[in-house]
A and B are shown apart, each in its own frame.
Chain A
Amino acid sequence: MNFLIGAFKPPCTVSVEFKDAETRPEANIKKENGQMAPVPLFQSQESVVGEVRIEPLPGKKVEHMGVKIELLGQIELYFDRGSFYDFTSLVRELDVPGEIVDRKTFPFEFSTVEMPYESYNGVNVRLRYILKVTISRSYATNIVEYKDFWVRNFSPPPEINNSIKMEVGIEDCLHIEFEYSKSKYHLKDVIIGKIYFLLVRIKIKHMELEIRRRESTGSGPNTYNETETLAKYEIMDGAPVRGESIPIRLFLSPYDLTPTYRNINNKFSVKYYLNLVLVDEEDRRYFKQQEITMMRID
């Protein structure tokens, strides 16, 4: 097969370099193979500047119908493999049709690019940003090279951030009142709150707080929901009595969270929930789920 590969091997190597690669922050992203790898990090309204280097293999030349670089924002739905939705697509022509014989570099610049959505690797959906270099050829297939980069956007601190306060219960069995100090949290935030027991007639063994992520993809009848429990945090051990109040303090930093995404390009949403779970001695679970909004704040 080697020669075949050799035969179809593109006659040149194409690489994309960011101009400020040295100084640009990077995000550690889990690749498909499970390994963590650093990826250059951008945010919306930044200029994406760099250069494309095309280096023909020794003794070869590349005839082309033109070289272009595209900046694409794509949503990829796994259940619908192959369907990409580009919500952003910018193109720069790098070269007019001709021949490349020697190594050649083309600077490019997409200035103040609107990148409204954050990069996201979900269960059923992926949102990614890529730079795509295409060397168009008339006979042979186009030579295409991709370069991933990651986007994170910061939102301003919310002006209104109400606490979540609620009384729930099962009649004559269990009544609790819980309070989370905020409804919107940033990713390194701490959830502070307390549970107040108004009535306890069951034998509770313990209580925990779960952080759950629900990813919804598709729309209408074809909506797919995928829920993951990202954190299980025990906040109470043993059976409380009426009048007891149990404090909550949960640091969010250890968990791999993203901001809440609402209806991204009508394709998907990612929402976060706090799930308060009480487990009784017969291992029955009583729970109450509350949505919280996650934000990335500078």
Chain B
Amino acid sequence: MQPQGEVMSSTEEQEKWLADAMALVQHHAFFMHRALDANNLRDALKFSAQMLSELRTSKLSPQKYYELYMRTFDELRMLEVFFKEESKRGRTNADLYELVQHAGNILPRLYLLCTVGSVYIKSKEAPAKDVLKDLVEMSRGVQHPIRGLFLRSYLSQISRDKLPDVGSEYEGEGGNVMDAVEFVLQNFTEMNKLWVRMQHQGPAREKEKREKERSELRDLVGKNLHVLSQLEGVDLEMYKEVVLPRVLEQVVNCKDDLAQYYLMDCIIQVFPDDFHLQTLETLLGACPQLQPNVDIKTVMSQLMERLSNYAASSPEVLPEFLQVEAFTKLSNSVVKVIEAQPEMSLVGAVSLHVALLTFILRVHIDRLDYVDQVLGACVKKLEGKGKVKDSKATKQIVALLSAPLEKYNDVVTMLKLVNYPKVMQHLDYETNKVMATVIIQSIMKNGTYITTADKVDALFELLKELIKDGEGAPSMDELDEEDFKEEQNLVARLVHMLVNPDPEEMFKILTTARKHFGQGGPKRLEFTLAPLIFSALKLVRSLQGQAADDDSPVSLKKVFQFLHQTVEALSMVPAPELSLRLYLQCAEAASDCALEPVAYEFFTQAFMIYEEEIADSKAQVTAIHLIIGTLQRTQVFGVENRDTLTHKSTGYSAKLLKKPDQCRAVFACSHLFWVEAEHGIEDGERVLLCLKRALRIANAAQQMSSATRGSNGPMTLFVEILNKYLYYYEKGNPQVTSNVIQGLLELIQTEMQSENTAQDPGVDAFFASTIRYIQYQKLKTDEVGERYAAIQI
């Protein structure tokens, strides 16, 4: 490292040197102008040579040298005009051409020679090709990299409009396009050599600085390629046979990282797409021969990008791609490059594949096998590497995997890619999960239905990091719970996309999914099984109408077996509340299918869970209400079974911990005895029993309240019970009479006015609206109105 001060001074030094040189150029230019004005050729040559001698400096950095060059360049333009005049005054251009070569120093001599050469070609006194050839040959005398580069750049500059290209005025006697190409190629080759050589001159510690300086000069070299690409006469044939092989030869042989990268890039950028397409083999053939540190992947990616864009530009060119087997060539080349550069980072290799894949997706969208082939190649590269740790490489792999996903927008298509999961395996746990999430989101977004068990299998193989604990996954405790939930919710949502109208296949899908979910461990089951069960229930609904046939691969029985096992598995998790609900769902479904034993079994399971696993009193309340609700709607049971179940329900209701809960559960139980349906039950007596029991409990609660708090609680329970009474009264339960209601009404009114009773505006409102309801019903003229007439308020 250099101290800051020295760096500064070196910049200042540069400025000073440049200023000095500029001043001298100006000085000599002044005398040159004077000589030009005086038509004094000898002096003009003398002073111009002196001026050009300033370009012999070795002190300036490329940038400063460029400034100096530009200054003299302007002066040389004037000299050129003078030379033109001179030839009009009778001096032959051949003479001039010789005369300037008398200069003793080579650099000024060659600048002058180029300047006269330009006039000489224009005069057509000599064939352009000969003059050009001579100039490019003579320029070999300058071997100093910077000075040589600028000299040749000058040559390139003055010769640009004088090449004997097709259609140029210099074509014919001046040569043909071959000569033009030859000239530019030679100049290019020499410039590149000089440019490369810069790297090897000077002390090793300034390597970086030199690299920087070199990249400042790179366009001087690349300009030649641009000139070549601008030649009218360079058609595909010539490009293929001459230009490209020669340029590549130089690129490969120069063995310089910077140059190879830049030039390959240049070739790709300056020549037209269809040329590239037709010469793919040659161009790609050079890639594996480049230096191991050259960033080939970027080069090739760019090529593929260009070709992709070309293909995208118009569909007419697509046949061309097929004709030249672009893909095969590209993919072979990718393999070769990776082989040739064992040092290439994983990122590089993968990003090459990404580029190739992008190419396929643009050009051969229909060739899924190509896509798979690329993924396969990538798998090969990743083989034995285990999980990829490098974050950049991971990013590229994600890109590789996302590209087809985005392009096809269809996970089903991708599931055909055998190698896709293999690539995915190499992602580390986190990324894999992210990728899986992306896949699911894609499915969701596009509403893609997964319709066969095989696909489900394949899909879950992809998503396995979400579905089960893979190797390398952190233990459950370390997971962020929220994230985990989110992921599992996604998986749960996914279940609804696994749909097939054919029950047989659907069932297969379910079993497959079940199999995969089964490996997920208790924590996941909680999330994943529920949707699966609902999905199965949906299947049940669709099967419901069909005749039961035990021989068919899918029967209701089988589905229920499946459901049973699944819920059982869930209950093992344990997830008592959820499994209870699901059992009840299943029971109801079974009931709808008129499968009494099955429904009974589900209820049994539900009760078992209630008994064994639901200990929390609040949960019990919820559970019992659920059971009651379900049971009420279940009509499949015969008297015996029904009795058993209702008995159990009422029993459990009365055993709830809190009195109000008991009370509510009990009056809810009343519904079990009053089902308005085709084969409904209308057991008014038992209804009344339940209601009375509820009243008793409400009383007991009131007493407890006064005993513990010194005042009665609000009359909520009573109002609620009153409402139940009204319900049954309205329904025409003979056991519920107006007297009973009347009594209850009075009781409530008295109690509410009692000072002993806690006031609650909510209850007051509830009661008031109940009264209003009664009044409203009284107004009716129908049967209900008549019944209500019996009630006095």
Pairwise interchain contact B141-A237, C-beta atoms closer than 8 A: yes
Q: Which of B105, B138, B145, B148 is in CB contact (< 8 Å) with A247?
A: B138
Contact of B141 among A231, A235, A239, A254 (CB under 8 A): A235
Q: Mark B646-681, 1 if CB is under 8 A from A, else 0.
A: 000000000000000000000000000000000000
| Contact bitstring A234-250, B, C-beta under 8 A = 1, else 0 | 11111111001111010
How far does the alpha carbon of A244 sit from the alpha carbon of B101 in the complex, in Å? 22
Main secondary structure of the interface of A (DSSP, over half): strand
Q: Is the CB of B102 within 8 A of A237?
A: no
B56, B105, B107, B141 interface centre (most CB from chain A within 10 Å) = B141
Q: Are B104 and A246 interface neighbours, CB within 8 A?
A: no
Which among A231, A232, A239, A244 is the interface contact of B144 at CB below 8 angstroms? A239
One digit per residue, 1 when the CB lies within 8 angstroms of any chain A CB and 0 when it does not, for chain B 41-59 equals 0000000000000001000
Interface hits, B131-171 → A, CB 8 Å: 137-138, 140-145, 147-148
A243 nearest CB across to chain B (Å)? 10
- Which residues of chain B are near A233, meaning CB under 8 Å? 104
Chain A residues near B107 (CB-CB < 8 A) = 237
Bound CA span A179–B770, Å: 126
Complex interface: chain B residues within 8 A of A251 (CB): 98, 101-102
Check B106 against A239 for contact (C-beta < 8 Å). no
- Residues in A with CB closer than 8 Å to B39 are none
B201 interface hit (Cβ, 8 Å): yes
> Once the chains bind, are A239 and B140 in contact (CB under 8 Å)?
no
B101 lies within 8 A of A246 (CB): no
How many Å from the CB of A234 to the closest CB on chain B?
Answer: 4
Q: How far is the CB of B654 from chain A (nearest CB, A)?
A: 105
Bound Cα distance from A245 to B143, whole angstroms: 10
Question: Min CB distance, B108 to chain A, in Å?
Answer: 10
How many chain A residues touch B (CB < 8 A): the figure is 19
Within 8 A of B (CB), among A194-253: 206, 231-241, 244-247, 249, 251
Chain B residues, CB < 8 A from A234 = 104-106, 109
**Does A247 lie within 8 Å of B201, measured CB to CB?**
no
Complex Cα distance A93/B147, Å?
70
In B194-219, which residues have CB < 8 Å from any A CB?
Answer: 197, 201
Q: List, in ascending order, chain A residues with CB within 8 A of B142's CB.
A: 236-238
How far apart are the CA atoms of A13 and B137 in the complex, in Å?
63
Please judge, given known A-B contacts A237-B143, A238-B144, whether A247 and B106 are in contact too, CB under 8 Å. no
Q: Are A235 and B143 in contact (CB under 8 A)?
A: no
* A3 to B: closest C-beta gap in Å: 50
Could you tell me if B138 and A237 are in contact, using CB atoms closer than 8 angstroms?
no
Q: Which residues in B have their C-beta under 8 angstroms from that of A246?
A: 140-141, 143
Tell me whether B102 and A240 are in contact (CB under 8 A): no
Contact of B143 among A231, A244, A249, A254 (CB under 8 A): A244
Q: In the complex, what residue of chain B is closest to A250 when comparing beta carbons?
A: B101
Question: Smallest CB–CB gap between B130 and chain A, Å?
Answer: 14
Measured CB to CB, the closest approach of chain A to B98, in angstroms, equals: 6
Residue contact A247 to B144, C-beta cutoff 8 Å: no
Minimum CB distance partner of B107 in chain A: A237
Q: A241-B197, A247-B138 are in contact. Are A236 and B102 (CB under 8 A)?
A: no
Count of chain B residues with a beta carbon within 8 Å of a chain A beta carbon: 22
Is B138 a contact of A240 with CB atoms below 8 Å? no
Among B101, B109, B147, point to the contact of A238 (Cβ < 8 A): B147
Q: Which of B346-360 contact A (CB under 8 A)?
A: none
Complex formed: what's the CA distance from A27 to B154 in Å?
Answer: 42
Contacts of A231 in B (CB 8 A): 104
* A236 in contact with B104 given A244-B143, A246-B140 (CB within 8 Å): no
B113 to chain A, nearest CB (A): 10
Determine the distance from Cα of A251 to Cα of B113 in the docked complex, in whole angstroms: 14
In the bound assembly, the distance between CA atoms of A254 and B143 in angstroms comes to 26
Question: Is there an interface contact between B138 and A249, defined as CB atoms closer than 8 Å?
Answer: yes
Q: Who on chain A is nearest to B105 by CB?
A: A234
Q: Which residues of B contact A254 (CB under 8 A)?
A: 102
Q: Which residues of chain B have C-beta atoms less than 8 A from A206's C-beta?
A: 106
Complex Cα distance A206/B58, Å? Answer: 12
Chain A residue, CB-CB nearest to B138: A247
Contact for A237 among B98, B147, B201, CB less than 8 A: B147
Cβ–Cβ contact A238 & B98, under 8 A: no
A237 touches B101 (CB 8 A): no
Select from chain B the residue with minimum beta-carbon distance to A238.
Answer: B144
Chain B 99-120, CB-CB to A under 8 Å as 1, else 0, gives 0011011110100000000000
In the complex the two chains form, is A249's CB within 8 Å of B101's CB?
A: yes
Distance of A242 from chain B, by nearest CB (Å): 11
CB contact list, A157-200 vs B, under 8 A? none
Query: Shortest beta-carbon distance, A208 to chain B, in Å?
Result: 8
- Picked from B56, B98, B104, B143, the residue with its CB within 8 Å of the CB of A232 is B104
Q: Nearest-CB distance from B313 to chain A (Å)?
A: 44
User: CA separation between A246 and B137, bound complex, in Å?
Assistant: 9
Contacts of B104 in A (CB 8 A): 231-234
Whether A244 and B147, one on each chain, are in contact in the complex, defined by CB atoms closer than 8 angstroms, is no
B contact residues around A237 at 8 Å (CB): 56, 105-107, 141-144, 147-148
Chain A residues, CB < 8 A from B197: 241
Closest to B137 in A: A247
Q: How far is the CB of A291 from chain B (nearest CB, A)?
A: 22
A237 to B53, CA, bound (A): 12
B108 (CB) vs chain A CBs: closest residue? A234
| Chain B residues, Cβ within 8 Å of A244 | 140, 143
- In the bound assembly, the distance between CA atoms of A238 and B141 in angstroms comes to 9
CA distance A231 to B105 in the complex (A): 11
Query: Of A232, A236, A238, A251, which is in contact with the most chain B CB atoms at under 10 Å from its CB?
Result: A238
Candidate in A206, A232, A244 with the most chain B CB atoms within 10 angstroms = A206
Given the interface contacts A235-B106, A236-B106, does A245 sit within 8 Å of B140 by beta carbon? yes
- The CA of A84 and the CA of B58, in the complex, are separated in Å by 55
**Contact mask for chain A residues 245-274; partner B; CB cutoff 8 A; 1 contact, 0 none:** 111010100100000000000000000000
* Nearest CB of A to B255, in Å: 12
> Which residues of chain B come closer than 8 Å to A235, judged between CB atoms?
106, 141
Q: Which of A234, A240, A246 has the most CB of B within 10 A?
A: A234
Given contacts A234-B104, A239-B201, A254-B102, contact A247 B143 (CB under 8 A): no
Q: Which residue of B lies closest to A248 (CB)?
A: B141
- Kindly list chain A residues whose C-beta atoms are within 8 Å of the C-beta of B137: 247
Verify B106–A240 contact, CB threshold 8 A.
Answer: no
Instruction: Tell me the complex Cα distance, A236–B140, Å.
Output: 8
Taken together as a complex, chains A and B put the C-alpha atoms of A134 and B294 apart, in Å, by 90
* Residue of B98, B143, B145, B193 touching A236 (CB-CB under 8 A): B143
Q: What 6 pairs across the A-B complex have the smallest Cβ distances? A: A238-B144, A238-B143, A234-B106, A240-B143, A254-B102, A237-B142
Can you list 12 A-B contacts with CB-CB less than 8 angstroms, sorted by A residue number? Answer: A232-B104, A235-B141, A236-B106, A236-B143, A237-B56, A237-B105, A237-B106, A238-B144, A238-B148, A246-B140, A251-B98, A251-B101
19 other contacts beyond A239-B144, A239-B201, with CB at 8 A cut-off?
A231-B104, A233-B104, A234-B105, A234-B106, A235-B141, A237-B141, A237-B142, A237-B143, A237-B144, A237-B147, A238-B142, A238-B147, A240-B143, A241-B193, A244-B140, A244-B143, A245-B140, A247-B141, A254-B102
